[in-house]
């Protein structure tokens, strides 16, 4: 529910709430402490190596902090998911620099800096960020009521266009398409001048829910949904390189899965299905077979193409492969053939795709990017089993297309690792 009057939300953490303070704290803890430890330990101080390690820790902390700031604004993200990956990646980049340049560095000091960096970041998360709940002032005109369904924010309806009313607000949201009275337009301008974040209702809801609702052509210009061509082509090259490098590593896992399928119930190892890919082109997706072959499929082609909750056709081994997402590994060959990407909207079976083209507005537009092994809908919504969920899934897919970027792909990658561990959305 939208609150009719402002309600004060207590701020925990004092100065530590500020990003600048968090960054400076990370530098002090992850850089200064390891450096002092090496200086104070008898016989352990090696000037060049110790100083290089301190500089390396400072650079790694800066890279990780910048990466988290770039990723965290995306919807559905929690800092706890990305602290360790971003810290590890940043320190790994610096470590690679030392490897190639052969410069001396203090390994103990560098490792201690990485450990303290991670400990500090998690301490900030549990003490401050985990308790943070945004308070956003709402300009009561236009379609502001559509925010009622988002309960992760404290919505405060502003009673009057006055800057003092923003004392308890982290930002302001307004429907810019509505005819705002002159005094409210002046208020928004003054709020922006004093540094207050001003959001559009529809854009903010997309950010908070991770979905783009496309019901009418006038609501979204196709220009805003067309992905960046530069990153599109770069991503294709990176997809192929990563697939080529990962194939030898995944071959033993794939061999084990193949043996398990054969021992479980015999029959074919791979499942091939015609699906709709980039620009509507048909291709055969490859997966490990997870369903029994001796059972008669449903008479309805749509039912046959969908996997229901606790579907009786799924084998014992198949359930494990689905939960761990190992059944998707053969799609590496689809990536090497240029038919798929690591990250993107999941390709639908041809029969489902043709059906939903007549049921869901702009459904075909999801084919503007390559389909992926994992996607925003999969890590956010999970597996879908009916038409209503399929319509909601398209909103997630449109969000991915609209905000198509390397940072969103990185976020999906982190969330994919989580789903592989906890089996979220598996059927």
- Given this model, what pLDDT does residue 284 score? 95
Q: Residue 314 has which token pair?
A: 């799924």
Please write the tens of the pLDDT for every residue from 317-330: 888 888 888 999 99
Taking the CA atoms of residue 411, residue 91, residue 60 and residue 404 in that order, the dihedral angle to the nearest 10 degrees is -20
pLDDT of 6 reads 42
Instruction: Report the sign of the C-alpha dihedral through residues 284, 287, 288, 294, in that order.
Output: negative
Alpha carbons within 13 A on the beta-carbon side of 387: 8
Q: What is the pTM of this model?
A: 0.71
Supply the pLDDT for residue 226. 62
Task: Output 5 or 48, whichever has higher pLDDT.
Answer: 48
How many residues make up the chain in this entry?
Answer: 427
Reported as a single tens digit per residue, the pLDDT across 280-315 is: 899 999 999 988 875 545 555 555 555 655 567 788
Quote the CA–CA distance of 312 and 102 in Å, as a whole number: 58
Segment 343-367 mean pLDDT: 84
| DSSP letter assigned to residue 291 | B
Percent share of the chain, pLDDT over 90:
33
Distance CA 212, CA 398 (A): 6
Our separate counts of H helices and E strands in the chain read 16, 8
Q: Is the pLDDT assigned to residue 225 strictly greater than 60?
A: no
């Amino acid at each position: 529910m939208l609150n009719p009057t402002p309600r004060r939300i207590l701020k925990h953490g004092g100065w530590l709430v500020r990003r600048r303070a968090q960054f400076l704290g990370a530098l002090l803890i992850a850089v200064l402490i390891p450096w002092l430890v090496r200086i104070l330990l008898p016989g352990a101080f090696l000037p060049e190596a110790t100083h290089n390690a301190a500089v390396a820790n400072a650079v790694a902390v800066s890279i990780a902090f910048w990466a988290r700031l770039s990723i965290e604004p995306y919807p559905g993200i929690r800092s706890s998911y990305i602290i360790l990956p971003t810290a590890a990646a940043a320190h790994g980049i610096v470590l690679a620099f030392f490897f190639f340049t052969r410069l001396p560095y203090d390994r103990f000091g560098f490792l201690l800096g990485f450990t303290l960096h991670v400990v500090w970041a998690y301490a900030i998360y549990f003490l401050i960020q985990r308790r943070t709940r945004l308070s956003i002032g709402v300009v009561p005109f236009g379609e502001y009521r559509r925010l009622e369904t988002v309960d992760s924010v404290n919505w405060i309806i502003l009673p009057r266009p006055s800057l003092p009313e923003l004392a308890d607000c982290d930002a302001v949201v307004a429907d810019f398409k509505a005819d705002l009275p002159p005094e409210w337009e002046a208020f928004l301008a003054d709020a922006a001048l004093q540094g207050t974040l001003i959001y559009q209702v529809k854009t903010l809801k997309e950010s908070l829910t991770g979905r783009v609702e496309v019901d009418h052509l006038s609501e979204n210009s196709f220009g805003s949904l067309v992905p960046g061509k530069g990153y599109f082509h770069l991503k294709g090259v990176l997809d192929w390189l990563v697939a080529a490098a990962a194939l030898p590593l995944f071959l033993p896992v794939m061999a084990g899965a193949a043996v398990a399928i054969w021992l479980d119930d015999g029959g074919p190892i791979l499942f091939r299905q015609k699906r709709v890919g980039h620009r509507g082109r048909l291709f055969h997706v490859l997966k490990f077979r997870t369903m029994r072959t001796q059972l008669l499929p449903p008479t309805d082609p749509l039912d046959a193409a969908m996997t229901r909750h606790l579907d009786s056709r799924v084998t014992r081994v198949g359930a494990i492969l689905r939960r761990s997402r190992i059944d998707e590994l053969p799609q590496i060959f689809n990536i090497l053939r240029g038919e798929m990407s690591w990250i993107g909207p999941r390709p639908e079976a041809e029969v489902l795709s043709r059906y939903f083209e007549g049921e869901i507005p702009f459904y075909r537009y999801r084919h503007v990017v390559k389909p992926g092994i994992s996607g925003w809908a999969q890590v956010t919504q999970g597996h879908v089993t009916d038409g209503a969920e399929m319509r909601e899934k398209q909103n997630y897919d449109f969000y991915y297309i609209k905000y198509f970027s390397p940072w969103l792909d990185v976020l999906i990658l982190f969330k994919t690792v989580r789903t592989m561990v906890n089996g979220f959305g598996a059927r």
